[in-house]
Chains A and B, each alone.
Chain A
Amino acid sequence: MDIKGIDKIIEKHGGVAGLLIQVLLEIQGENHWLPKEALERVSERLRVPMSRIQHIATFYKAFSLVPKGRHEVHVCTGTSCHVRGASRILDAVKDHTGIEPGETDVDSKFSVETVNCLGCCALGPLLVVNGKTHGRLSPAEASEVMKKYG
């Protein structure tokens, strides 16, 4: 994402410091992570110190300060999925990728996140890969799904 794209987002929000979170959310949405240069630009344009931006970028879960892998894996660990055995699904994903939730592997192949209720509890336990939902899974089926992505 280049400086122009960032400026456009800032301008869309009127350059108002109070809308800092909305600006960062939009950059995150477009770019999938928040590069340091982007944060510096936001700091400069909104006249908000970097320390406050870092505070926000680390406080809220929507933000990532590192690039994501090619395949974004989300395992729902909402309450309903939890009581239906989501932790075994998460185990299968961890086994396959070798990483913990919140991490990206060294080859940048997978990023794994746990998420709260996705609104499709009827399908639980479930995982979402690159936006596609795989539901009503057993741990073995979860491993099969992961294999399809390499």
Chain B
Amino acid sequence: MARLNSPEDLEKLRQEVLSRNDPKRPCISICAGTGCIACGAAGVVSAFEEDLRRQGLGDKADVKRTGCHGFCEQGPAVVVHPDGVFYARVKPEDVPEIVSRTIKEKKVVERLLYVDPATGQRVVHESEIQFFEKQKRLVLGSNSRIDPGSIEDYLAVGGYSALVKVLRTMSPEKVISDIKESGLRGRSGSGFPAGRKWEACRNAEGETKYVICNCHEGDPGAFVDRMMMEANPHLVLEGMIIGAYSMAAHDGYIFVGGEFPLTVENVGIAIRQAEEHGLLGQNILGSGFDFTVRLSIDGGSYVCGESTALMASMDGRVGEPIRKYDHATERGLRARPTVLNNLQTWANVPLIINQGVERYRSIGTSGSKGTKVFSLTGAVVNTGMVEVPMGATLKEIVFDIGGGVRGGGKFKALQVGGPLGGFVPENQLNLKVDFDELGKAGLSMGPSLVVMDENACIVDTVKYFVTFLSDESCGKCTPCREVFRQILKVLNRISGGRGREGDIELLKELSDVQRDATLCALGQGAPSPIDSALAHFRDEFEAHIGEKRCPAGVCRGLSAAGPR
């Protein structure tokens, strides 16, 4: 591929790609993200390739391997364009029928259609499925049309047009003021205004500046950040290039958790392609602006998602957080001005530039703009990756999009924000997806929402999180070494049927020490699940302690009726 030397070159290439794409030509788009691969998507892809060849249609239809579409519950998912027929849980055996019926005869295969559980009706198109209908997929919307290994697919959906707009018409200051005005806030859950960070970094002294994308996602129950990266890596790169341009930074890093090899592979390919096309490297699109992006893989440690630990780890050291005397925007990576943003934050940037500030601001609440992507998992009917506008209620996510509790069970709680978050009981599901509202409720807008039904025990889940945090803590602060152990001792006692009167108060006291005497947000945030469990589910603790009963029948040694 020849290097693109100007925005005009890029637009020309886009036109070429679009003119090559015949909108009427059948294209079978198969979700082959990490989740669907585990469900056997790779076999479905090769079955399609083989069968098209066998039926002599090899040059009449395309097979596209895409990243995650979001509806993991029904994976492997197949969408047959141009009509957009959606087939659920496709197996290699089903493929010949799809090819002969849908590709050849333009008819649908009824038995493979998704059945709406509420109405019992078969649904033909993705957009008519309630799971998708109720979402607002500004960031995820193109996933089913993009092969993550193809920069041309990204161009075909309008990719890199925000970069073109920036280089042609916007000064760095204008980019920053637009991002500030857009109201974009940190999608890691921090909610920190992105534009303010960028401005501080732009104004900081020094030639060398860094931008980093945090795609670490150490939350033990989340997969969205890595799945988004895997499905549409160029979107994130475009956001980073625009950000770097506005701050005059020339070096960027993507820090990614190593557990999803496909994510790592796809980012690597995207970086290489962007370099080959002159979208990264020296003199980007002839603008005189230089920017390179490198990949840094995490060695597997939750605390490395924290900014100071992350920067230590990127420099080949152990990930121990340090006190933040300085802002990273002044002294960050290698003591240079650095902006660290979550991957979802970066992914919103091209959207803001393309749509314009006004339109972007029209979505969301007064204090939280745009959309947010979550993984919706646990005891829910529709497991998947969901994108909702800020201001949507948790109830809408769980019941309208998620389809409620699976197996007809009864809802107990929604776990929000992972190990540093908390539990939302049914009577609080009207809480909105909004940084300030969730913050006030003691929750953070992390990547995961986990539905718990009556078969899950709150005491056990608190123990699960504390065990996780105690294992993952770097061990630098005394409370992280000692208080975690004491908290676990009490929790083990309670779940083992040996709870004593006063244990609940003891837990609260230990939590207070933990919160007050630790250095980083891991230690300080650890009491959060304990607090919210005690606030909303105290009766479950009391049943374990007073009646020696685990109402969910999860804790060993106890049963729902009483001690075993």
Contacts and interface: CB of A to CB of B under 8 A. Distances in A.
Contacts of B452: 83
A93 B299 CA distance: 25
* Residue from the set B33, B221, B223, B448 with the largest chain A CB neighbour count within 10 Å: B221
Nearest to A132: B38
Contacts of B260: 118-119
Interface string B296-314: 1111110000000000011
A66 interface: no
A19 B221 CA distance: 29
Given A59-B318, A60-B299, A122-B73, A79 B34 contact: no
B33 to A, nearest CB: 7
A97 interface: no
B226 interface: yes
Contacts of B300: 60-63
B149 interface: no
B379 A121 contact: no
A72 to B, nearest CB: 14
Nearest to A136: B39
Contact of B383 (A52, A85, A122, A126): A122
Interface in A48-101: 48, 52, 55-56, 59-63, 77-80, 82-85
A116 B53 CA distance: 40
B218 interface: yes
A101 to B, nearest CB: 11
A31 interface: no
A131 to B, nearest CB: 10
A6 interface: no
A109 B314 CA distance: 35
Contacts of B455: 83, 85
A25 interface: yes
A116 B35 CA distance: 14
B333 to A, nearest CB: 10
Contacts of B317: 52, 56
Interface residues of A, number: 39
Given A18-B316, A20-B316, A80-B450, A118 B259 contact: yes
A19 B253 CA distance: 13
Given A17-B316, A25-B258, A59-B318, A119 B299 contact: no
Contact of B299 (A61, A77, A116, A124): A61
A116 B383 CA distance: 17
A133 interface: yes
A83 B298 CA distance: 26
B418 A62 contact: no
A128 B296 CA distance: 26
Contact of B313 (A21, A124, A135): A21
Given A60-B301, A62-B299, A123-B38, A82 B75 contact: no
Given A60-B301, A61-B301, A82 B461 contact: yes
B8 to A, nearest CB: 36
Contacts of A115: 259
Given A17-B316, A56-B318, A79 B418 contact: yes
Contacts of A119: 33-35, 38, 223, 226-227, 260
A61 B227 CA distance: 21
Contact of A21 (B34, B221, B299): B299
A62 B299 CA distance: 5
A135 to B, nearest CB: 7
Nearest to A126: B38
A23 B378 CA distance: 36
Given A60-B301, A79-B448, A120 B39 contact: yes
A79 B455 CA distance: 14
A135 B319 contact: no
A21 B378 CA distance: 33
A121 B299 contact: no
A118 B261 CA distance: 11
Interface in B256-306: 258-260, 296-301
A117 interface: yes
A79 B448 CA distance: 9
Contacts of B358: none
Contacts of B34: 118-120
Contacts of B474: 59
Contacts of B128: none
A61 B72 CA distance: 27
Nearest to A124: B377
B415 interface: yes
B221 A78 contact: yes
A63 B299 contact: yes
11 contacts: A55-B318, A77-B220, A79-B220, A79-B377, A80-B378, A83-B461, A85-B455, A117-B375, A119-B34, A121-B223, A128-B38
Given A59-B319, A62-B299, A118-B259, 10 more contacts: A56-B299, A60-B319, A78-B220, A82-B221, A82-B464, A119-B38, A120-B35, A122-B73, A126-B38, A135-B39
